[in-house]
């Protein structure tokens, strides 16, 4: 991560605070889902919840990738869910989601990343479809070394 982006991420964290109770509720809910339904079913459910959030919080029409990034960041700021950096890359759009809330510390970091990754996958898929994207163009979640979540929208 570049020093400028790292500083922006730290500044973002300094300006936001966690809301007690909400992370606890979310952690208990996701943990119970994992215990009772399993990982695959939980991921599918959380993905669907992300798609429903995309409908509830529409972006409006974005004319450029920079405009799309700005619109997404405005909604994420309302949620206190970090921010994105969108990059066109050959025939893809790479979405780096940074400054994701850390959760309540009860769920493992890996479980939290998978859960929020599933929600964000659904959210971004819904938003990209609303911009004219096709259901046939895939959106995938990729591992990163810097703690961010990376998504790739590519046919």
DSSP assignments along 82-125, one per residue: -EEEEEEETTEEEEEEES-----SSS-HHHHHHHHHHHHHHHHH
pLDDT digits (tens, 9 = 90+) for 93-107: 999 999 888 777 778
Residue bearing the bigger pLDDT, 98 or 19: 98
Q: Specify the pTM.
A: 0.86
What residues contact residue 126 under an 8 Å CB cut-off, 6+ apart?
50, 51, 52, 53, 54, 55
Query: What pLDDT does 31 receive?
Result: 87
Question: In angstroms, how far is the first alpha carbon of the chain from the final one?
Answer: 27
Q: Torsions phi, psi of 80, nearest 5?
A: 60, 45
Does residue 20 have a pLDDT over 80?
no
Domain residue limits, the chain: 3-154
Q: Residue 118, class by beta-carbon neighbours within 10 Å (0-12 exposed, 13-18 middle, 19+ buried)?
A: buried
- At the topology level, CATH places domain 3-154 in Alpha-Beta Plaits (3.30.70)
Q: Which among 144, 125, 99 is positioned nearest to 44, based on CA atoms?
A: 125
């Amino acid at each position: 991560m570049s020093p400028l982006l790292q500083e922006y991420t730290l500044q973002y964290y300094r300006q936001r605070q966690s809301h007690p109770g909400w992370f606890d509720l979310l952690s208990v809910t996701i943990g119970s889902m994992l215990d009772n339904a399993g990982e695959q079913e939980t991921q599918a459910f959380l993905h669907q919840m992300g798609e429903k959030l995309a409908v509830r919080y529409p972006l409006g029409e974005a004319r450029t990738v920079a405009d799309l990034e700005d619109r997404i960041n405005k909604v994420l700021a309302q949620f206190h869910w970090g921010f994105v950096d969108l990059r066109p890359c050959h025939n893809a759009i790479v979405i780096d989601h940074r400054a994701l809330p850390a959760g309540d510390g009860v769920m493992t970091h890996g479980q939290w990343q998978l859960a929020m990754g599933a929600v964000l996958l659904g959210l971004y898929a819904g938003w990209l479809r609303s911009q004219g994207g096709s259901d046939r163009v895939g959106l995938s979640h990729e591992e990163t070394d810097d703690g961010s979540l990376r998504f790739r929208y590519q046919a």
